[in-house]
Structure 1
Amino acid sequence: MVLKIGLVGCGAIGTEIAKAIDRGDIAAELVAVFDRNEERARELVRRLEIRPEISGLEGLVELSEVVVEAASQRSVPEVARAALERGRDLMIMSVGALLDGDLYRMVADLAKENGCKVYLPSGAISGLDGLKSASAGKIELVTLTTTKNPKGFSGAPYIEDMQIDLAAITEPAVIFEGPAEEAVSAFPANVNVAATLSLAARGARVMVRIVADPEIDVNVHQISAEGDFGRITTKVENLPSPQNPKTSYLAALSAIATLRSIAEPIKIGT
């Protein structure tokens, strides 16, 4: 049977997922889409050969086997409850929301009670399989350094709260340093990978440094992890999404790869 997918959020990542399904890159059917901005949903559907239904959240859940959240951290509680209470599997792109302990427990409990799976793609980073393996032992510290062009941080709550003039940055500048829990709320559209690292590390300390560099046109994520296993270091230089410079294109590809893994019988990697 073809996997039936409902998509919540028709922005940069949601659009890439929809187009991949439409091309046949995923053995699935996009049965419904939902976006608070209905015109954005209509625009996405118009661009597809096989056009899904434009639905409200409840209707989308009823039509789907897997619900994909690609909207925002704010949407995660509502989407998770709607999907999991009805026994639907769920893929969450806005992973930063799950660093709220109460929300994480709610999602985990609902998934267990209703026999569901919750999928968290690795996003715009590499090495997550190694980190998951290392978490079976003891991880002492994980550090993430994210470097982007200043325009990629435009509109972030931290930038606005601190009144940082991004246009005035003329050389690489550290604009934030702190734990993952603070980073994901300060930069909700930029560092969901910090939350993914924190969850994969199973409670190990994850520190985040954010650098604005006007000379680069890629999004760089460098990760270092230390523990009784040794040391892991990875670096990825991502091209920004053509539709949204705040998002790395690899994050969308990660979502597509995760959906492929759900639909296909053979799983590769940890």
Structure 2
Amino acid sequence: MQKTLRVGIAGFGSLGRGVAKALDQGKAGYTLAAIAVRDPLSPPAVRWQSAEPLFTNIAGLAPLCDLIIECAPSSLLESIAAPALRLGKTVVVLSSTGLLALPGLQDIARENGGKIIVPSGGIAGLDALAAAAVGELYSVKMVTRKPPKSLAGAPYLVDNAIDVDAMTEPTRIFKGSPREAARLFPANANVLASVALAGMGPDRTEYEIWAVPGLQYNTHTVAVDSSASRFTLNIENVPSADNPRTGILTLYSVLAVLDRLNAPVRIGT
């Protein structure tokens, strides 16, 4: 008989709420056990269909859950993931930029039987890229094009007084490595971090960000040249109505991870 896993959610913004809603409506093999919020004594008002989960802080989340879904800023990743991994539990990481700065989390997972799962989020082709990386990768180049408003507030733009809203034509605002981009554009680099982790790493992957006035969707293009294959993928993501920095596909990829964990047949690498 399949064990029902207790799921915890760290962070209750638009993405955390979306995951919670899906679990509350029922997902075989899982129950929503707890949600970490800033103030557990004043939790958000939510009308639950199933049993109401416990609200706690980040420090109290790991003991209550078998699996934690991280939906918080990357600056909180270590405090969310490390305690759970030390207990041998599974952490689904959305803030993959945090993994670039925290390689020690992999060691904690390895030493304690924990697992880190990074969903595809707003990108496609990670399975093909990871497979190609088993051979020899010659180059991986990624170009992100975004509506200006989805880039507003990035540290790089603030520090350099760049007003993306004043742009009237497509403008390249960054060219460099994923490691640099994760520091300068922390709210926009999770897809890039996932590509880097699956492929050539955060220092050898080439990356550009363009602000494109009038663009409707967040768009990513990844070109891969390897000993096994050459391929280019292009994906246009519909932004979330609640958070234009996050695409709807990111939520769906988390739910697909949960379905895949319990599936009798798994498709893809």
Quote the residue 1:79 is aligned against: 80
The alpha carbon displacement at 1:39 in A equals: 8.7
Relative to structure 1, the CA distance from residue 170 to residue 40 in structure 2 (aligned partners, 3 Å threshold; closer, same or farther) is farther
Q: Which runs of 5+ in 2 are unaligned?
A: none
Maintained 8 Å contact 1:194/1:206:
no
What is the correspondence of 1:9-24 to structure 2 with a 5 Å cutoff? 9-24=11-26
The root-mean-square deviation of aligned C-alpha atoms, in Å, is 1.7
TM-score, reference length from structure 1: 0.93
2:88 equivalent to 1:90? no
Q: What is the number of equivalent residue pairs in this alignment?
A: 265
The alpha carbon displacement at 1:264 in A equals: 3.0
The alpha carbon displacement at 1:25 in A equals: 4.3
Relative to structure 1, the CA distance from residue 228 to residue 77 in structure 2 (aligned partners, 3 Å threshold; closer, same or farther) is same
User: Percent identity over the alignment?
Assistant: 37
Quote the residue 1:126 is aligned against: 124
The alpha carbon displacement at 1:34 in A equals: 0.7
Maintained 8 Å contact 1:26/1:256:
no
The alpha carbon displacement at 1:230 in A equals: 2.6
Q: 1:191 aligns with which of 181, 189, 192?
A: 189
Quote the residue 2:255 is aligned against: 256
Q: Which runs of 5+ in 1 are unaligned?
A: none
Maintained 8 Å contact 2:87/2:114:
no
Quote the residue 1:48 is aligned against: 48
Quote the residue 2:267 is aligned against: 268
Using the alignment, how far apart are the partners of 2:65 and 2:41 within structure 1? Answer: 22
Quote the residue 2:6 is aligned against: 4
Maintained 8 Å contact 1:42/1:54:
no
The alpha carbon displacement at 1:41 in A equals: 4.8
Using the alignment, how far apart are the partners of 1:159 and 1:133 within structure 2? Answer: 36
The 3-state SS of whatever aligns with 1:189 is coil
The alpha carbon displacement at 1:119 in A equals: 0.3
Q: Which has the higher contact order (CA 8 A, sep 6+)?
A: 1
The alpha carbon displacement at 1:40 in A equals: 8.8
Which structure shows the bigger proportion of residues in helix conformation? 1
Q: 4+ residue stretches of structure 1 with deviation over 6 A? A: none
Using the alignment, how far apart are the partners of 1:40 and 1:225 within structure 2? Answer: 48
TM-score, reference length from structure 2: 0.93
Using the alignment, how far apart are the partners of 1:139 and 1:249 within structure 2? Answer: 30
Equivalent residue letter for 1:29: T
Maintained 8 Å contact 1:3/1:263:
no
Deviations 1:82-134 (CA, angstroms, capped at 9, x unpaired)? 1111221111100001112xx21x21111111111110111101111100110
Maintained 8 Å contact 1:34/1:56:
yes
Quote the residue 2:231 is aligned against: 232
The 3-state SS of whatever aligns with 1:49 is coil
Using the alignment, how far apart are the partners of 1:171 and 1:258 within structure 2? Answer: 38
Relative to structure 1, the CA distance from residue 39 to residue 161 in structure 2 (aligned partners, 3 Å threshold; closer, same or farther) is farther
